[in-house]
Amino acid sequence: MLELRPNCECCDRDLDAASADVLICTYECTWCRDCAENILHGICPNCGGELVRRPIRPAHLLTVDPPSTKRVVRPGCAPAPAR
């Protein structure tokens, strides 16, 4: 079963379990669509695998198998904010 991680590993943006704009690799590294397309160009920086849309778990099953609360962030992924 997928963990449904709660955030983008690049920018740390919160990700809704029901969002179609979340991408993962085969190891479940999790990215928002913006980072996946504009920073990572569709390739996971952790494993080199392709990023695909994460399936959406049906709402009635989220109570039985809730999303993960463990946040994972890849240091240095997102560009530093302008100062």
Closest among 38, 80, 14 to 30, alpha carbons compared = 14
* pLDDT per residue as tens, the chain (83 positions): 899 999 999 999 999 999 999 999 999 999 999 999 999 999 999 999 999 999 999 999 999 999 999 999 999 887 766 55
C-alpha span between 75 and 62 (Å, rounded)? 29
Does domain 1-62 correspond to CATH entry 3.30.40?
A: yes
Domain extents for the chain?
1-62
24-56 CB burial, b ≥16 within 10 A, e <16: bbeeebbbbbebbeebbeeebbeeeeebeebee
